[in-house]
Structure 1
Amino acid sequence: MGAYHYSLMRGGLVHRLLHASGTLQRTRHLSVWLAVLLLVLALVPLLLLTAQAGTLWPTPEAAPGHIALLADYDTLARLLIALPLLVLTAPRADALLRGAVRQLTRSHVVHAVRAPRLEALLEHVRTQRDSWLPEAVCLALAFAPAWSGAPVAGVLPGLDDWRFHGASPSAAGLWFSAVAVPLLRLLLLLWFWRFLLWTLVLWRLPQVGLDLHPQHPDRAGGLAFLGRAEMRFSPLAAAGGIMLAGAFLNQMLHQDQTLYGLRHLIAGYVIGSTLLLIAPLLLLAPALIHAKRHALYRFDALGSRAARVFDQRWRVGGEARADGDSLLDHNDASAYCDFGGVYQGVSAMRVIPLSRWNMLGLALPALAPMLPLLLVAMSVDELVAKLMGLLA
């Protein structure tokens, strides 16, 4: 079980290719080396080719409306930020997901009698992870569009840019379309494949058989750690937000688009990406609803019995009884209050193992890349003045 991993670097076809190339020998800083390698492979040829063609940076001699590489914030956001982010965050996500699987096997969420079923499930998912076919499909989906002769897309419709030389694609545009974009697309597809594997675990987990405890203090039947584990896929939302922010920045600077006009797209992306990432947790909702409903039935009956016994014994309230006993001389009231606290905890149990902080941990990475757009839409002085006006 300890060898079970979710990683972009371990398991599958890509892992075998990295192992064959000797890249895995640098295990200490593997993600850093891979990020630098992919960044150099994707971006450095673009810099050299556009410098040779005179389209690296804006110049007075350039045609009006022409977009140089260093003024193409969409491309820079994709290659300089999103691509390294997906590589550098993979090892940390891998370690935390591995911890969640370890917690799943050690927290008695699955009864010991059904532990072999859980072992079989994890073995099945590990076999899927190590299969060459899914990642071969990812490679095909990443590189096939460009290598099949698909036309090079411009930065913005109606504007000339560094990706073209006249009416035909430039050398830099061809490299961007055939190498840089497919590399980024491959990383995204690999992340989504790992996300699907994790979804498979959550989908099959109720079939294994969960031993849930609605009175658990985490208010999720003992499954709150799965909500924290889901946050490990927030780099997907962050990478998408970075790419959208770059595209929106191009529209604002080169097409006079306003931030107000983009508000629906921004809100739609933040909400949609958050819902997509929490969707696998909904697979656990039926089991949690069932456990909560039956626990409430049991605690309702127990509460009625406890209230009846308490009322019969202390019907006289706080007055001293004939035998001299008083409510203050016994722990009945304390026990009754403790039972009330347990019942309130069961009533407040969440039917999805997701807290508001987990939700924020998924939504903020999608929203944070959009915040620099505020600095383009208004000056720093205007932004500070508006904020002070809201706080005053």
Structure 2
Amino acid sequence: MSQDTYSLMRGGLVHRVLHASGALHRSRRLSVWLAGLLTALALLPMVLLAQAEGMLWPRPGAMALFGDYATLARLLLGLPLLVLAAPRADDLLRSAIRQLTHASLVRPSRQPRLIALLTRVRRYRDSWVPELVCILIAFAPSFYQSGVVSLLDGVPDWRSQHGVATTAGDWYGWVGTPLFRLVVLLWLWRFVLWTLLLWRLPRVGLGLHAEHPDQCAGLAFLGLAQERFSALAVAGALLVCGACLNQMVYLGVTLHDLRHLLAGYVIGACVVLMSPLLLLVPVLVRTRRHALYRFDALGNRAAATFEQRWQAASEATAGSESLVDTGDASAIADFGGVYQSIVAMSVIPVTRWNLLSMAMSAAVPLLPLVLMAFPFDDLVAKLMGILV
């Protein structure tokens, strides 16, 4: 099959436009070129216009373009990050979807249901309607927005002058922000497709095994695949960091004042981006419960047989051989290990490392706020005071 068969991103209106233009065939590093093109289109004209209007470099009492950390985080960091992360994320998600068909997770008699589900998801992916809606949502606010909304209350910024939008501000409102919004919406549409796949997957009829070594009945690879959406957590953290830096620099807000917002973002990002895996909880709960019932009954028979053989062996070999020379002790120990693995089975295909990876993705981009609140030399001095 083609690599597009299991892909969530190689389809839709935008993919068709790129394919028709020949860009998909001419460049092996399309994401790099596309990220550079979109960033230049969103930011470069705005820089030139702000320079012509004298609003490019920071100045006292006003927010210039190069002093607007929220805008720079959005267009200079967030936009190219999402474009560059898309191919790698798609590769890993495609591998996870392919594993559903190659592994023994679906019984042969249920394979047609799985193929039908993947065909439905692929049909949604290839439809031009969802991405057209994303384009309309991305650019519609530019037509209906009335006036210029100040980034910070009481702080003049580069987007307006004497209550009138500047040309740089117009470019930001008509090109920069819609482009970023469109890329985010395309990512969210793929997130919806992945969620739809996980929602319908239990209805296919999964052949799960509670005693699987991954302690998730063989579905732990889905937690690894879910980490690929951490790019959304990073992009969101960059936006939060830029907006908070603006408040700290121009409004005097402290890091202590922002602690609830920052903690809420990290926790909320982890919960939202990992929540699709909760759709698999019912089938995993049933798998664990049924396995415990089966192994409880099997354990009773094994324990009774072991006790009888142990008793007979102890009487027959008294004074000649050790009781542990028989294979029954090893067998019952192995059975106990399998039973404990079922007891420890997680009903959510997420490990602590998956959660840690997502939390780090949401938290690391916020570190500049700490450096802003506590200068680097002060942090080093305090650390040296603690260590020495």
- Aligned residue runs from structure 1 range 62-77, under 5 A: 64-77=60-73
CA distance in 1, matches of 2:57, 2:7: 41
**Residues 237 and 365 of structure 1 are in contact (CA less than 8 Å); yes or no, is this contact kept in structure 2?**
yes
Cα distance change, pair 328–378 in 1 and its aligned pair in 2 (3 A): same
1:104 aligns with 2:94: no
1:22 aligns with 2:18: no
Aligned to 1:47: 47
Cα distance change, pair 207–257 in 1 and its aligned pair in 2 (3 A): same
Aligned to 2:269: 273
1:32 aligns with 2:32: yes
Aligned to 1:356: 352
- Residues 294-326 of structure 1: CA deviation (Å, up to 9, x unaligned): 100111111122112222222489787359554
CA distance in 1, matches of 2:387, 2:363: 22
CA distance in 2, matches of 1:388, 1:267: 27
Cα distance change, pair 373–288 in 1 and its aligned pair in 2 (3 A): same
CA distance in 2, matches of 1:389, 1:287: 54
- Aligned residue runs from structure 1 range 1-392, under 5 A: 1=1, 2-8=3-9, 10-59=10-59, 64-315=60-311, 321=317, 324=320, 326-387=322-383
Cα distance change, pair 46–385 in 1 and its aligned pair in 2 (3 A): same
CA distance in 2, matches of 1:359, 1:20: 40
* Secondary structure class of the residue paired with 1:57: coil
Instruction: Report the residue type matching 1:264 in the other structure.
Output: H
**Residues 8 and 94 of structure 2 are in contact (CA less than 8 Å); yes or no, is this contact kept in structure 1?**
no
CA distance in 2, matches of 1:136, 1:294: 46
**Residues 6 and 194 of structure 1 are in contact (CA less than 8 Å); yes or no, is this contact kept in structure 2?**
no
- Residues 175-226 of structure 1: CA deviation (Å, up to 9, x unaligned): 1011100000000000000000000000000001110000000000000000
Cα distance change, pair 3–314 in 1 and its aligned pair in 2 (3 A): same
- Residues 328-377 of structure 1: CA deviation (Å, up to 9, x unaligned): 32111111111110000000000010000011111111111101111100
CA distance in 2, matches of 1:343, 1:5: 36
* Secondary structure class of the residue paired with 1:133: helix
Instruction: Report the residue type matching 1:25 in the other structure.
Output: H
What stretches of structure 1 of length at least 5 have no aligned partner?
A: none
TM-score, length of structure 1 as denominator length: 0.94
**Residues 42 and 176 of structure 1 are in contact (CA less than 8 Å); yes or no, is this contact kept in structure 2?**
yes
Cα distance change, pair 208–43 in 1 and its aligned pair in 2 (3 A): same
CA distance in 2, matches of 1:18, 1:3: 14
Question: Which region of structure 1 is more displaced relative to structure 2, 199-208 or 10-19?
Answer: 10-19
- Residues 147-171 of structure 1: CA deviation (Å, up to 9, x unaligned): 2344333221211010012111100
* Secondary structure class of the residue paired with 2:58: coil
CA distance in 2, matches of 1:73, 1:200: 36
Cα distance change, pair 332–19 in 1 and its aligned pair in 2 (3 A): same
- The percent identity for this pair of structures is 58
**Residues 7 and 90 of structure 1 are in contact (CA less than 8 Å); yes or no, is this contact kept in structure 2?**
no
CA distance in 1, matches of 2:385, 2:336: 46
**Residues 8 and 122 of structure 2 are in contact (CA less than 8 Å); yes or no, is this contact kept in structure 1?**
no
- Residues 221-262 of structure 1: CA deviation (Å, up to 9, x unaligned): 000000000001000010000011000011111111111110
* Secondary structure class of the residue paired with 1:260: coil
CA distance in 2, matches of 1:116, 1:187: 34
CA distance in 2, matches of 1:7, 1:234: 16
Cα distance change, pair 52–319 in 1 and its aligned pair in 2 (3 A): farther
Instruction: Report the residue type matching 2:53 in the other structure.
Output: A
CA distance in 2, matches of 1:390, 1:312: 63
Once the two structures are TM-superposed, the CA of residue 77 in structure 1 deviates from its matched residue by 0.6
Once the two structures are TM-superposed, the CA of residue 108 in structure 1 deviates from its matched residue by 1.0
TM-score, length of structure 2 as denominator length: 0.95
- Residues 14-51 of structure 1: CA deviation (Å, up to 9, x unaligned): 11222233332333010011001101100001110000
CA distance in 1, matches of 2:308, 2:367: 63
Question: Which region of structure 1 is more displaced relative to structure 2, 283-292 or 313-322?
Answer: 313-322
Question: Which region of structure 1 is more displaced relative to structure 2, 45-54 or 377-386?
Answer: 377-386
CA distance in 2, matches of 1:389, 1:276: 40
CA RMSD of aligned residues (A): 1.8
Provide the aligned length of Structure 1 versus Structure 2: 387
Instruction: Report the residue type matching 1:124 in the other structure.
Output: R
CA distance in 1, matches of 2:31, 2:48: 25
* Secondary structure class of the residue paired with 2:110: helix
- Residues 116-163 of structure 1: CA deviation (Å, up to 9, x unaligned): 100000000000000010000000000000123443332212110100
Instruction: Report the residue type matching 2:5 in the other structure.
Output: Y
**Residues 271 and 363 of structure 1 are in contact (CA less than 8 Å); yes or no, is this contact kept in structure 2?**
yes
CA distance in 2, matches of 1:79, 1:213: 46
